[in-house]
């Protein structure tokens, strides 16, 4: 049976065919669709969203330690969160096979950095495989499971955005039921106290030596000889890019098993060609090995250190120019910065907080990260998932040492899913250390930015089981916060009051929770009951009353359009969802905007 699958879909298919019983992850582009597709195999695989990547890793570790085949997935920065349990588990190892997917993102399409997670394999001393196509994504998961069980090790499965999201024809197979291996208590293997982990450390080195032999013999690493003039060494999607550029004019060493590297194969290949190109994205991972083996090559001395090594980038690096294409006038392309959707529940908060002076806003990772730009100009910084409360607290403690205009109030902002991910740890730190930081939790009832995944506030699990909603306000109060207020962010009067209330409380920390569903969310029964009038009507502008003051434009709503010639604002009806924020910004004496009458 053949199917057209993305790399992410193919990984899920491969995991199912390999007999995986349990999977866990935290959503993050470009890895999100792996678990979403694993969730479709109900009955065979239990797939769960975890509160963060570390928890997902730990859950999968636990499942593999009692004999089940397991898989966890995350984007590249997510593996930073999960690294702690992964490094130790590299010593103890699984009972059932365990695969760790890292989805790297050369080019930073939706990420805050461009790290190369191949380095984790060497650092943690675990084997690594890298698929180039959707077919390989499916097949290599199955091979990785076998490696994991044979060598008692978790296996790092490194993908990149293009492999994750590009599609290909995949030859699918049937599921192999491997069952759950019987669990037997083994403290020498599973308890990493120093007396035992020192022994495990030696075993890890012995395992690496065995894996070096495997690397030399596995069909995942192979040479394709076409010419002795040019030789290309590549892994992952770069192999496909290189073949598109050089075709049959070059020979190729395709590396699918990249840690430990097949040094013997590399030596043999390099000795057969006159010129060696090492094409890889981000770090000179393969290039360093080639040079250590004593061969000169063209790597990062020719190709860019950052971004994707797409065919046009390779052509320009090697031949001085990309492919001939249609020329365009870039000056005529309208700059379209990303913006909050029409009806986004974050708009009301940022519209009000952006007007406050002497306030510093610690941002976070989510849709609300867009508030740094016009018209809000609100957010001062962001770092990583859940960091707003930690960085906000530290900044507030320093500001409290200052006097006069230098003394500022810090507002830490994050979302509902981010709260449970890691921001709640920073919030505990705020309460414990008696900070007066203001925290704003933007609860839009779903994990919005990555495509509407369920989380502890949504009331449902990944596979659709109804589950208790965890009330954020209750959790915050249990942490010791006395000053907690929940507000509808579309009500600007209430939003302004909440912000002023928090700012006025200079002695203690305050928490504001904005609660309104994401405009793109598919409403659950709970949503319909709590927000019965949400998005039921649209707003309209009376052109005779509009004076073109552009007060409503300052909300940043993309449904609003200003006609400079007519000096009037109009509402794009197809985009408007009737949140009512623009109505409240129209001067009271004008009242040109109102709810549409049926």
Question: For 23-65, what is each residue's pLDDT tens digit?
Answer: 999 999 999 999 999 999 999 999 999 999 999 999 999 999 9
Alpha helices in 272-355 (DSSP H): 285-292, 311-319, 347-353
Q: How many CA atoms lie within 13 A of 416 on its CB side?
A: 29
CATH topology of domain 347-530: Rossmann fold (3.40.50)
Question: Residue 246: which pLDDT band, with cuts at 50, 70 and 90?
Answer: very high
Handedness of CA 35, 39, 44, 50 (dihedral sign): positive
Residues 6+ apart with CB under 8 A from 304: 313, 317
CA distance 298 to 334: 38
Q: Judge contact between 262 and 221, C-beta under 8 A.
A: yes
Q: How do the domains of the chain map onto residue ranges?
A: 2-217, 221-319, 347-530, 539-595
Per-residue confidence (pLDDT) for residue 598, from 0 to 100: 63
CA distance 309 to 467: 44
CA distance 278 to 315: 14
CA distance 288 to 91: 26
Residue 597 has pLDDT above 80, yes or no: no
Q: What are the pLDDT digits (tens) for 503-562?
A: 999 999 999 999 999 999 999 989 999 999 888 889 999 999 999 999 999 999 999 999
Q: What is the CATH number that goes with domain 221-319?
A: 3.40.50.920
Strands 128-129 and 167-171: unpaired
Nearest to 522 by CA among 576, 468, 444: 444
Q: Is this prediction's pTM over 0.85?
A: yes
Compare 271 and 334 and report the one with higher pLDDT.
Answer: 271
**Six-digit token string for 430:** 């705020």
Does domain 539-595 fall under CATH 3.30.70.1380? My reply is no
Question: Taking the chain, what is the end-to-end CA distance rounded to the nearest angstrom?
Answer: 52
* Average pLDDT along the chain: 95
CATH topology of domain 2-217: Rossmann fold (3.40.50)
Mean pLDDT computed over 563-587: 94
Residue 76 has pLDDT above 90, yes or no: yes
Q: What are the pLDDT digits (tens) for 149-165?
A: 999 999 999 999 999 99
Residues 6+ apart with CB under 8 A from 180: 21, 66, 67, 68, 96
Q: What are the pLDDT digits (tens) for 108-117?
A: 888 889 999 9
Q: Are 2-217 and 539-595 the same fold in CATH?
A: no
Residue 342 has pLDDT above 90, yes or no: yes
Residues 6+ apart with CB under 8 A from 198: none
Nearest to 223 by CA among 271, 161, 287, 157: 271
Per-residue confidence (pLDDT) for residue 363, from 0 to 100: 94
Per-residue confidence (pLDDT) for residue 327, from 0 to 100: 82
DSSP letters for 489-530: TT-HHHHHHHHHHHHH--SS-EEEEEE---TTPPPPHHHHHH
Question: Residue 328: which pLDDT band, with cuts at 50, 70 and 90?
Answer: confident
Question: Residue 321: which pLDDT band, with cuts at 50, 70 and 90?
Answer: confident
β-partners of residue 172 are: none
In 3-state terms, what secondary structure has residue 252?
strand
Mean pLDDT computed over 453-460: 93
Q: What are the pLDDT digits (tens) for 119-135?
A: 999 999 999 999 999 99
Per-residue confidence (pLDDT) for residue 326, from 0 to 100: 84
Asked which of 276-290, 317-331, 350-364, 520-534 is least confident by mean pLDDT, the reply is: 317-331
In 3-state terms, what secondary structure has residue 330?
helix
């Amino acid at each position: 049976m053949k199917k057209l699958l993305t790399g992410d879909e193919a990984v899920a298919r491969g995991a199912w065919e390999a007999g995986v019983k349990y999977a866990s992850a935290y959503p993050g582009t470009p890895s999100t669709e792996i678990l979403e597709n694993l969730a479709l195999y109900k009955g065979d695989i239990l797939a769960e969203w975890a509160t963060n990547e570390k928890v997902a890793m730990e859950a999968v570790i636990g499942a593999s330690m009692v004999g089940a085949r397991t898989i966890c997935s995350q984007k590249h920065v997510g593996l930073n969160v999960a690294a702690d349990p992964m490094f130790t588990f590299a010593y103890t190892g699984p009972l059932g096979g365990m695969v760790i997917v890292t989805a790297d993102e050369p080019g930073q399409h939706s990420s805050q950095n461009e790290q190369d997670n191949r380095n984790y394999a060497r650092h943690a001393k675990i084997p690594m495989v890298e698929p180039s196509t959707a077919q390989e994504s499916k097949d290599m998961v199955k091979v990785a499971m076998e490696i994991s069980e044979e060598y008692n090790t978790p296996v790092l499965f490194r993908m990149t955005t293009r492999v994750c999201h590009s599609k290909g024809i995949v030859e699918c197979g049937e599921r192999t039921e491997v069952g759950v291996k019987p669990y037997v208590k083994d403290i020498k293997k599973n308890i990493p106290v120093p007396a035992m982990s020192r022994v495990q450390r030696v075993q890890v080195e012995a395992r690496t030596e065995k894996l070096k032999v495997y690397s030399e013999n596995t069909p995942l690493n192979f040479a394709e000889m076409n010419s002795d003039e040019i030789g290309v060494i590549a892994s992952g999607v770069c192999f496909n890019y290189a073949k598109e550029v050089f075709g049959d004019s070059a020979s190729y060493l395709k590396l699918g098993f990249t840690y430990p590297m097949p040094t013997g194969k590399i030596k043999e290949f390099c000795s057969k060609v006159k010129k060696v190109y090492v094409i890889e994205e981000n770090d000179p991972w393969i290039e360093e090995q080639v040079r250590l083996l004593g061969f000169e090559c063209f790597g990062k001395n020719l190709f860019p250190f950052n971004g994707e090594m797409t065919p046009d980038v390779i052509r320009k690096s090697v031949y001085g120019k990309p492919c001939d294409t249609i020329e365009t006038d870039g000056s005529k392309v309208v700059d379209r910065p990303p913006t909050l959707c029409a009806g986004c529940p974050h708009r009301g908060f940022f519209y009000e907080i952006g007007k406050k002076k002497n306030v510093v806003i610690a941002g976070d990772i989510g849709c609300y990260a867009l508030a740094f730009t016009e018209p809000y100009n609100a957010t001062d910084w962001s770092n990583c998932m859940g960091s707003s409360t930690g960085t906000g607290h530290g900044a507030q403690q320093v500001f409290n040492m200052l006097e006069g205009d230098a003394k500022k109030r810090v507002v830490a902002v994050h979302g509902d899913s981010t709260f449970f991910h890691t921001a709640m740890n920073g919030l505990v730190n705020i309460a414990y250390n008696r900070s007066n930081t203001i925290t704003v939790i933007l609860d839009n009832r779903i994990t919005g930015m990555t495509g509407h995944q369920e989380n502890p506030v949504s009331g449902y699990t990944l596979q659709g089981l109804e589950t208790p909603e965890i009330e954020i306000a209750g959790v915050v109060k249990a942490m010791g916060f006395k000053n907690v207020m929940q507000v509808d962010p579309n009500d600007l009067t209430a939003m302004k009051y909440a912000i002023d209330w928090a700012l006025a409380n200079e002695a203690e920390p305050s928490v504001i929770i904005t609660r309104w569903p994401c405009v793109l969310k598919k409403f659950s029964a709970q949503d319909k009951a709590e927000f019965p009038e949400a998005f039921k009507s649209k707003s309209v502008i009376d052109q005779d009353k509009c004076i073109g003051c552009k007060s409503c434009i300052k909300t940043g709503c993309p449904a609003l359009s200003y006609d400079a010639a007519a000096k009037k604002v109009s509402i794009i009806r197809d985009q408007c969802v009737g949140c009512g924020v623009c109505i409240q910004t129209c001067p009271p004496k004008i009242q040109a905007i109102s709810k549409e009458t049926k």
